[in-house]
Amino acid sequence: MAKDSENNTKEESQSVKGGINRRQLLQMGVATGVSAAAAIAVGKAPSAEAAEQGNSVHVGPGELDEYYGFWSGGQSGEVRLLGLPSMRELKRIPVFNRDCTYGHGFTNYTKDLLKGKISGDTHHLHLSYKDGTYDGKYGFVNDKAQARLARIRLDYMECDKIIEIPNCQGTHGIFPSRHKIDGVYCNAEFRIPVDGADPEDPTQYTCLHTCVDAESMEVRWQVKVNGNLDLCATDYQGRYSMACCYNSEGGVILSEMMANDRDWLAVFNLEAIEKDVKAGKGTTTIGDSKVPVIDGTAEGNPYVLYIPVPKSPHGVNVDPTGKYAVCSGKLSPTCTVVELDKVADAFAGKIKPRDCVVAEPEVGVGPLHTAFDDKGNAYTSIFIDSVVTKWNIAKAIKGENPVIQKLDVHYQVGHINASMSETKDADGKWVISLNKFSKDRFLPTGPFHPENEQLIDISGDVMVNRHDGSAHPEPHDALIVKRELIRPNKIWDPADRKFEFERKLAAKHGVNLGKENKIFREGNKVTVFMTSMAPAFGFPRIDAKVGDEVTIVITNIDMVEDLCHGFCLSHHDLNVGIAPQETVSVTFTADQKGLFWYYCPWFCHALHLEMRGRFIVT
Ligand code: RUQ
Ligand code: CUA
């Protein structure tokens, strides 16, 4: 283990001013179960140096950013799209939340995605890969709250699939295959009783690692594990998925979960699992689910290798060379470097699982997540110290002190990521630090504070903070992606698969979708096909009777980029957006007698206010 550097010593003495050193702080947190927030009270004052250099990035008006930022929006349930380095927010992509900007959760298509659920907790967003870098096709994001996985299609920047992971709670870390579009691996964080197990008996609880097919979005298999799973990663060859694994104790209260000095990095042998699942060898099912389940809990089993790492680890990140997986200690001031080429020998029993560990450098108190540049350096977020630690992987392996610099961030950093860090093309330009507490750094906003994002320039020898700005809670995790890899369309293709339902409905009525305005009545079902083109809807008036089930299919036939319309029906809780060449449908019951104006909520034309019509219910 490396000795403290001068940097470390300086950090130490700053903390001592508060009357307590970092290690004591950590131990205090562990011993008494005090929250990190309580530890902050004795933390450091803001660093003037970092503040002065804040907000020195300039991307001129009309100039385009070099990178897309993909942000998971935490408890907001959404995904956000930013431009970097300007940090301009470009779009919020609703996923698990209801949103009337675009009509997510209002249109028939998106109601079918959400199935009546309108809340979620998006932690980890990753993009699909080909040969170790992004292919621009999909984004995948978890919902920790309701154990779901969603897919975002990047050609239109919207959610097109949401699935529930069976027999899991707290789906947390997810990661797709990096060699090609193949699996998306999902970790359950909470152990739960399944298949009639007794909720009173924690020894009967189960935790599962799940593989979802990235194209069909169907669950392929699940593996039963010891402990519970946290963050997820894959290697670059398709050999392994992996999970940091705290609570090896199987505890249900805090003190029980922190008892062991080491928990695990669990590595999943994908070839062995796929082979036995295919052959139906040793698989079972749980409850009503038909998904094959493999048991990876026994010692020395061929599916899961449990590599001991200290202590309640959090975060596992694979470096751009694909050689190393780095776990953070959370309750140990260390990172653990695992050499992935040794894992096969450990599975084969030629070496012990612990022999896969090649370094355990000390990086600071409360390490969480690690990002990488193109020069063999790692950047670890340190929650309790409120710093980003830059350290060198090769030096750590040699047993030298690897710490190069510690930069103050404000305050209590959670995730960090570096530009292209999760790919083989990491470019060493930027690190984003997503800080959980902003405390006194912005105008007061009442008891709920904004969070703070800091963009750090890592292109030189020294890390420099270049942007410091508030963020709507919670910017949970982020990817920084070269813009040329992402090529979204500007106008919908009317033949897209998204419009299947509306196309079928039009065919059933013999309507040329998007070309004709027609109204049909069958019993109490009213179906309206109409166009929207600035500044008018296809019908200035629609009639219905109380109790009718009304379906309105609207096509925005404007061909002009950026010319969006929408459909909002007064007093019916119905508000959707319609992009150029897009068709949406909404179905609702006409349950109130009277006149209700429908109007276009997107400012589309000088006569936008006149873009409306009467819905008359008799
Ligand atoms: S993990 S608490 Cu991203 Cu650090 Cu969810
Ligand atoms: Cu169309 Cu406003």
Residue 232: CB within 6 Å of ligand 1?
no
**pLDDT higher than threshold 70 for residue 192:** yes
- Which pair of structure tokens corresponds to residue 413? 């950093």
Per DSSP, the three-state class of 367 is strand
C-beta separation of 132 from 142 below 8 A: no
Residue 124: CB within 6 Å of ligand 1?
yes
Pocket of ligand 2 (CB under 6 A): 534, 565, 600, 602-605, 608, 611
Hey, what domains does the chain have and what are their CATH numbers?
Answer: 8-485 (2.130.10.10), 497-617 (2.60.40.420)
Give the C-alpha separation, 327 to 367, whole Å. Answer: 9
In the reported structure, the alpha carbon of residue 209 is separated from the centroid of ligand 1 by a whole-number distance in angstroms of: 17
pLDDT tens per residue, range 18-68: 333 444 434 433 333 333 333 333 334 334 444 446 678 889 989 999 999
CA proximity to 176, closest of 145, 144, 207, 212:
212
Q: What is the pLDDT of residue 56?
A: 81
Q: Which atom of ligand 2 is nearest to the CA of 601?
A: 2
Q: What is the pLDDT of residue 53?
A: 64
pLDDT tens per residue, range 111-129: 999 999 999 999 999 999 9
Nearest CA to ligand 1 atom 2: 123
Cβ neighbours, 10 Å, residue 218 = 9
- Which pair of structure tokens corresponds to residue 208? 């599962």
Give the C-alpha separation, 169 to 174, whole Å. Answer: 14
Residue 477: CB within 6 Å of ligand 1?
yes
In the reported structure, the alpha carbon of residue 477 is separated from the centroid of ligand 1 by a whole-number distance in angstroms of: 8
pLDDT tens per residue, range 385-410: 999 999 999 999 999 999 999 999 99
> 193, exposed or middle or buried, with CB in 10 Å at 0-12, 13-18, 19+?
middle
Mean pLDDT, to the nearest integer, of 572-596?
Answer: 98
In the reported structure, the alpha carbon of residue 561 is separated from the centroid of ligand 2 by a whole-number distance in angstroms of: 14
Residue whose structure tokens are 């990661």: 175
Least distant ligand from the CA of 314: 1
Cβ neighbours, 10 Å, residue 153 = 17
Residue 415: CB within 6 Å of ligand 1?
yes
pLDDT tens per residue, range 74-109: 999 999 999 999 999 999 999 999 999 999 999 999
Q: Which atom of ligand 2 is nearest to the CA of 605?
A: 2
DSSP of 96-107, one letter per residue?
Answer: SS-BTTTTBTTS
Mean pLDDT, to the nearest integer, of 228-249?
Answer: 96
C-beta separation of 122 from 95 below 8 A: yes
Residue 183: CB within 6 Å of ligand 1?
no
Dihedral pair phi/psi, residue 502, rounded to 5°:
-70, -35
The secondary structure element, H or E, covering residue 51 is: helix 48-52
In the reported structure, the alpha carbon of residue 612 is separated from the centroid of ligand 2 by a whole-number distance in angstroms of: 8
> 325, exposed or middle or buried, with CB in 10 Å at 0-12, 13-18, 19+?
buried
Nearest CA to ligand 2 atom 1: 565
In the reported structure, the alpha carbon of residue 113 is separated from the centroid of ligand 1 by a whole-number distance in angstroms of: 25
Give the C-alpha separation, 370 to 415, whole Å. Answer: 8
Reported as a pLDDT band with limits 50, 70 and 90, residue 171 is very high
In the reported structure, the alpha carbon of residue 123 is separated from the centroid of ligand 1 by a whole-number distance in angstroms of: 6
DSSP of 416-474, one letter per residue?
Answer: EEEBTTTSTT--SSEEEEEES--TTSS---SSS--EEEEEEE-SSSS-EEEEEEEE-S-
Cβ neighbours, 10 Å, residue 129 = 25
Residue 126: CB within 6 Å of ligand 1?
no
Terminal Cα-to-Cα distance of the chain (whole angstroms): 80
Pairing of strands 541-544, 612-617: parallel
Give the C-alpha separation, 484 to 533, whole Å. Answer: 32
Give the C-alpha separation, 312 to 442, whole Å. Answer: 33
CA proximity to 414, closest of 348, 361, 367:
367
- Which pair of structure tokens corresponds to residue 124? 């980890």
CA 305-477-454 angle, 5° bins: 130
**Cis status, amide bond into 85, omega within 30 of 0:** yes
Q: Which atom of ligand 1 is nearest to the CA of 369?
A: 4
Q: What is the pLDDT of residue 67?
A: 98
Q: For the chain, give the mean pLDDT.
A: 92
Residue whose structure tokens are 């307590």: 20
C-beta separation of 617 from 544 below 8 A: yes
In the reported structure, the alpha carbon of residue 495 is separated from the centroid of ligand 2 by a whole-number distance in angstroms of: 23
- Which pair of structure tokens corresponds to residue 396? 């750590």
Q: How far is CA 503 from CA 10, 495, 496, 513, 514, in A?
A: 67, 9, 10, 7, 10
Amino acid at 136: G
* pLDDT > 70 in the chain, percent: 91
Contacts 24+ apart (CB under 8 A), 487-491: 487/136, 487/155, 488/154, 488/155, 488/156, 488/157, 489/155, 489/156, 490/561, 490/562, 490/580, 491/559, 491/561, 491/579, 491/580, 491/581
Dihedral pair phi/psi, residue 255, rounded to 5°:
-60, -35
Q: Which is more confidently placed, 427 or 330?
A: 427
Residue whose structure tokens are 């390490």: 367
In the reported structure, the alpha carbon of residue 118 is separated from the centroid of ligand 1 by a whole-number distance in angstroms of: 21
- Within its chain, how far is the Cα of 581 from the centroid? 29
In sequence order, the 6+-apart residues with CB closer than 8 A to the CB of 335 are 326, 327, 328, 329, 359, 360, 361, 363, 367, 370, 378, 380, 391, 396
The lowest-confidence range among 197-211, 244-258, 332-346, 466-480 is 244-258
DSSP of 108-151, one letter per residue?
Answer: HHHHHHHTT-----B--EEEEEETTEEEEEEEEEEETTTTEEEE
Q: What is the pLDDT of residue 38?
A: 34
